[in-house]
Amino acid sequence: QVQLVESGGGVVQAGGSLRLSCAASGFTFSRYYMGWYRQAPGKQRELVASITSGVIRNYVDSVKDRFTISRNDANNTVYLQMNSLKTEDTAIYYCNVAVHPFASWGQGTQVTVSS
Whether residue 54 is predicted with pLDDT greater than 90 in this model: the reply is no
Residue 11 pLDDT greater than 90, yes or no: yes
Residue 8: band (very low, low, confident or very high) from pLDDT cuts 50, 70, 90? very high
Q: What average pLDDT does this structure show over 22-36?
A: 96
- Please tell me the distance from the alpha carbon of residue 80 to that of residue 91, in angstroms, as a whole number: 14
DSSP the chain: --EEEEE--EEEETT--EEEEEEEESS-GGGS-EEEEEE-TTS--EEEEEE-TT--EEE-GGGTTTEEEEEETTTTEEEEEE-S--GGG-EEEEEEESSS--S-----EEEEEE-
pLDDT at 14 over 90: yes
pLDDT in tens, 55-107: 799 999 999 999 999 999 999 999 999 999 999 999 999 999 998 898 899 99
